[in-house]
A and B are shown apart, each in its own frame.
Chain A
Amino acid sequence: MRRIPISALIGLLVTGAFFAVALTAQWIAPYSMEEASGGVWEPISAAHWLGTDNIGRDLLSRMIFGAQVTIFIATAATILSFATGSVLGFLAATAGGWLDQVLSRLVDLIMAVPTLILSLVILTAVDVTNLTLILVMGFLDATRVFRLSRAVAVDITVMDYVEAARLRGEGRSWIIFREILPNALSPLVAELGLRFIFAVLFISTLSFLGLGVQPPLADWGGLVKENSAGLVYGVPAALAPAFAIALLAIGVNLVADWVLSRTTSLKGGRGG
């Protein structure tokens, strides 16, 4: 492996830090999530490093627990979307025929409706819990993963080594997991980073609109919503979670960019 470029290193560091905070939230947060430990919208102090929120809870603690909620939901949704999207995409590419047609047109149908509107409709109809959020986000995102993995796999299935495996009499699972997957991994890994960030933005959007994570639990989007009224009075509390969302997005993107440029350099493209 070539040396990791400085931008990717920063990205890895930022992303790693966020995940570390999310995993250790219970131990590092100075206060609990619900406890009102000060006045409304107190400024930054030694007791409250980021001040307090709209009902006097410690903002730093809310942020730390919010990271846990945001990252957990986004990660779970991304894993779900990749597990279903890539397997179905590879299946469609290798099987071809009517299976490919049915799956691809179904995906077209879902993608024809804007994701946000579709998920708002679903979430108003069902009970909003973390599980339903993950399922809705995961399956909607899976359509995009399906598109990508099918496109990548279609390129690979016409390779002579896949034909050689078919002539040998290999079953479909060998062809998907041993011949195609290892060669499709790089673009998929790069896409994984981007889809994760879209999931973070998506859950934040939903929470901001009030259909995401339900109080008293809150993710970053929820924190922005709770504190957005303060901006009118010059209270910067809403900016901290917004900043966290932006920072995580940039960090993951830097890593994804690096993975992507490594992929293209394999094909003799940029990054040589």
Chain B
Amino acid sequence: MAETLLDIRNLRIEATAYPPGEPPRNLVLVDNVSVSVKKGRVLGLIGESGAGKSTIGLSAMAYGRGGVRLTGGEVRLNGRDIRLADAAGLRALRGREVTYVAQSAAAAFNPAKRLMEQVVETCLHHRLMSRAEAETRAVWLFGKLGLPNPETFGNRYPHQVSGGQLQRAMTAMALCPKPDLVIFDEPTTALDVTTQIDVLAAIKEAIRDTGVAALYITHDLAVVAQVADDILVLRGGKTVEYGATGQIISDPRAAYTRALVSVRSIEHQEKPDARPILSVDHVTARYPGTHFDVLKDVTVDVAPGQTLAIVGESGSGKSTLARAITGLLPATQGRIRFDGRELSPDLASRTRDDLRELQMIYQMADVAMNPRQTVGTIIGRPLEFYFGLKGEARDRRVQELLDQIEMGAGFAKRFPAELSGGQKQRVCIARALAAKPRLIICDEVTSALDPLVADGILKLLLALQAREGVAYLFITHDLATVKAIADKIAVMLKGAVVRYGRKSDVLSPPFDDYTDLLLSSVPEMKPGWLEQVLKHRRMESAGN
């Protein structure tokens, strides 16, 4: 039986909130959470945003972000309660016994220093090893983490490596001082699905080879199932369920865990092909002042009342296609036809009806709504603008739309800042619906949301499609979402469509290389999936 490394008992964490216009209020962020990690084991912390997972993770180094206080319980690391440690004690502890890997590697590295300098900094600061020893260890870690040219990798600056490589470099930084415990705070969330799998595999291997214990924080149960031995499910700062990974995945006991496990189980029947409402015909586009086509000869159709999903990783031209269709980035070649008439490539010369029938919903609902306008104004403006509705007629229609997005009365007077993430996205949907569009372009509308909330939004979109007959052009990098809602799929890579057709055709073999890579990279909710995929890939590359 391995020794217990980290033992958190009845942890209570509080913070003070300063709501505008009200007296300061005490908030309990984490309440009575107990959890332990044995040497060399990995504990997954999972929950939606605000569940307290990062707060608990940081408490393992007795740290609280701005104004957060650890007010009760014990955090025992190597047998002593680090909550009671003084500043010097904490300084000796952090970076030596516990290290941290942040979500955004790009924001965590100093852009003015070479990677090696930053990776060995902690070792030198704590006088754990000489510079030569530290650099040797860093090179070894670079190799372990699958970074290219481990000998010279450290000479690069942060901007000279990719996001996935930077994330691995930060993992090397955390592992370099030979800590007992590493806290991984959503290390793969900001990465593309195809990159995520590499980083995940590298992290897993490095954890195994260095024998370090880890806290792995994420909102994605499928990801944590690959790396963690045990899982702690959190909600609102309280423990929902705590158990071995296998048990949580295959036999979840709490209702909330069951919902998390069964998320993305929407069944969607593919509809038969029909005469398209939107056809994009050999469209090529480039940004003004550049000499590089960001869209290359793209041809896709959307049928009325159906969904075309555009899939691809970041930089593949998905959003640019949306900009070309809406006219924000006029196409340099090709034609865009809408309901039988040709759309002018330029936004300024389109008719008001063209604009009305083609609406858009954005990824970040936060910045898609003017923070100084109420929900009533935000939804009411298209009604006023396109249909000339005023006063009571307008308010009535706003309320109808709020009902359609399953939000009650009283929301019309609120400001966006007073809504939750899911509610904000619903308001954006209502604003698009207000124009009575024929087609809505949805640009990554669920990727900033928690899985259960995203599920709700997808269900709402499907229900609205069934009722209003609106077509969607759905841009996403998440294939699980695609499976849930698409009728047709276009896979994009470097500005071109590499695979296009009915959902059943696109998602069944034979695959082209890229689609295969994309499909196999989507984490599945079963332990051992990661090894299977990697084994499969190694065999394929050996076969070639």
Q: Does A105 contact B (CB under 8 A)?
A: no
List the B residue with the shortest CB-CB distance to A271: B18
Q: Does A113 contact B (CB under 8 A)?
A: no
List the A residue with the shortest CB-CB distance to B18: A272
Of A30-38, A115-123, A155-163, A199-207, the one touching chain B: A155-163
Question: A-facing mask of B347-364, CB < 8 A → 1, else 0?
Answer: 100101001100110101
CB distance from A271 to the nearest CB of B (A): 10
List the A residue with the shortest CB-CB distance to B366: A160
Q: Does A183 contact B (CB under 8 A)?
A: yes
Q: Is the CB of B328 within 8 A of A167?
A: yes
List the A residue with the shortest CB-CB distance to B431: A164
The complex places the Cα of A17 from the Cα of B447 at a distance, in Å, of 55
Q: Is the CB of B20 within 8 A of A167?
A: no
List the A residue with the shortest CB-CB distance to B358: A167
Which of chain A's residues have a CB closer than 8 A to the CB of B370? 161, 178-179, 182-183
The complex places the Cα of A183 from the Cα of B372 at a distance, in Å, of 7
Q: Given that A167-B355, A170-B385 are known contacts, is A2 also in contact with B20, CB under 8 Å in the complex?
A: yes
Tell me the B312-327 residues at the A interface (CB within 8 Å).
Answer: 326
Q: Is the CB of B347 within 8 A of A167?
A: yes
Q: Does B382 contact A (CB under 8 A)?
A: yes
The complex places the Cα of A160 from the Cα of B347 at a distance, in Å, of 16
The complex places the Cα of A169 from the Cα of B360 at a distance, in Å, of 13
Which of chain B's residues have a CB closer than 8 A to the CB of A178? 370, 373
Q: Does B410 contact A (CB under 8 A)?
A: no
Q: Does B369 contact A (CB under 8 A)?
A: yes
Set A163, A169, A179, A272: member contacting B328, Cβ < 8 A: A163
Q: Is the CB of B360 within 8 A of A164?
A: yes
Question: B-facing mask of A161-205, CB < 8 A → 1, else 0?
Answer: 101101111100000001100110000000000000000000000
The complex places the Cα of A182 from the Cα of B326 at a distance, in Å, of 26
Q: Does B528 contact A (CB under 8 A)?
A: no
Question: A-facing mask of B423-466, CB < 8 A → 1, else 0?
Answer: 00000000100010000000000000000000000000000000
Q: Is the CB of A168 within 8 A of B369?
A: no
The complex places the Cα of A57 from the Cα of B360 at a distance, in Å, of 71
How many of A's residues come within 8 Å of B, CB to CB?
17
Q: Does A125 contact B (CB under 8 A)?
A: no
Which of chain A's residues have a CB closer than 8 A to the CB of B368? 160-161, 164
Which of chain B's residues have a CB closer than 8 A to the CB of A170? 385
The complex places the Cα of A22 from the Cα of B526 at a distance, in Å, of 78
The residue among A164, A170, A272 with the most chain B CB atoms within 10 A of its own CB is A164
Question: B-facing mask of A1-20, CB < 8 A → 1, else 0?
Answer: 11000000000000000000
Which of chain B's residues have a CB closer than 8 A to the CB of A160? 362, 364, 367-368
Which of chain B's residues have a CB closer than 8 A to the CB of A179? 370
Q: Is the CB of B367 within 8 A of A168?
A: no
Q: Does B371 contact A (CB under 8 A)?
A: yes
The complex places the Cα of A243 from the Cα of B227 at a distance, in Å, of 71
Q: Is the CB of A168 within 8 A of B328?
A: no
Q: Does B488 contact A (CB under 8 A)?
A: no
CB distance from B418 to the nearest CB of A (A): 14
Q: Is the CB of A164 within 8 A of B362?
A: yes
List the B residue with the shortest CB-CB distance to A262: B20
The complex places the Cα of A2 from the Cα of B368 at a distance, in Å, of 27
CB distance from A172 to the nearest CB of B (A): 11
The complex places the Cα of A159 from the Cα of B362 at a distance, in Å, of 11
Residues of B at under 8 Å CB distance from A? Answer: 18, 20-21, 66, 326, 328, 347, 350, 352, 355-356, 359-360, 362, 364, 367-373, 381-382, 385, 431, 435
Given contacts A164-B362, A166-B328, A272-B18, 18 further A-B contacts (CB under 8 A): A1-B21, A2-B18, A159-B367, A160-B362, A160-B364, A164-B368, A164-B431, A166-B347, A167-B359, A168-B385, A168-B435, A169-B350, A170-B385, A178-B370, A178-B373, A179-B370, A182-B372, A183-B371
- The 5 tightest CB contacts between A and B, nearest first, are A182-B372, A160-B368, A169-B355, A161-B370, A160-B362
23 A-B pairs (CB sep. < 8 Å): A2-B20, A160-B362, A160-B364, A160-B367, A161-B368, A161-B370, A163-B328, A164-B360, A164-B362, A164-B368, A166-B328, A166-B347, A167-B326, A167-B355, A167-B359, A167-B360, A169-B352, A169-B356, A170-B385, A178-B370, A182-B370, A182-B372, A182-B373
